[in-house]
């Protein structure tokens, strides 16, 4: 459960670290959240422990998927201003190009939100937002 006062304080200050601390896997990955043009922007700062293929080197697909799922969860908490963290119903991920050994960024779009279920699209990129590394779609149970 997210403390609503932490969410309000984060929105006012622009520091979402206290919100991320309440989602252990997001904290483990090192997810960073900030607002950009009035919408959340997520970053997975480069970390050697997120490398899957050391020969390329390339980010591990599981790290990319986990980052996108947590970005969507955080986006829903941010948009709904709810103390309930949504639960994942399903998650579909398409890898479009190799994730280089550098930071990864993501934006989310809530395509439909009902009383109990939300559908979210996520896009991850590195140097150029028009060249996504991965795209994902997920359904979340809201209550």
Q: Please report, for the domain that includes residue 130, its CATH number.
A: 3.10.129.10
pTM, entire model? 0.92
Pair 138, 92: CB distance under 8 Å: yes
DSSP 12: H
Q: Domain residues for 23?
A: 4-141
**Rounded to an integer, what is the distance from CA 29 to the centroid of its chain?**
10
Per-residue pLDDT 10s for the chain (143 aa) are 566 676 677 777 878 888 888 889 999 999 999 999 999 999 999 999 999 988 989 999 999 999 999 999 999 988 987 777 899 999 999 999 999 999 999 999 999 999 999 999 999 999 999 999 999 999 999 97
Residue 114 has phi, psi (to 5 degrees) of: -105, -160
Number of domains in the chain: 1
């Amino acid at each position: 459960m997210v403390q609503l006062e932490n969410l309000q304080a984060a929105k006012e200050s622009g520091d979402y670290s206290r919100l991320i601390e309440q989602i252990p896997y997001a904290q483990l990955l090192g997810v960073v959240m900030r607002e950009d043009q009035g919408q959340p922007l997520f970053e997975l700062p480069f970390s050697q422990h997120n490398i899957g293929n050391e020969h390329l080197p390339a980010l591990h697909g599981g790290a990319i998927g986990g980052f996108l799922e947590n970005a969507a969860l955080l986006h829903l908490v941010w948009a709904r201003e709810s103390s309930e963290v949504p639960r994942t119903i399903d998650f579909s991920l398409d890898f479009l190009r190799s994730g280089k050994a550098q930071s990864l960024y993501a934006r989310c779009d809530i395509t439909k939100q009902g009383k109990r279920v939300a559908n979210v699209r996520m896009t991850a990129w590195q140097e150029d937002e028009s060249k996504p590394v991965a795209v994902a779609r997920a359904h979340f149970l809201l209550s």
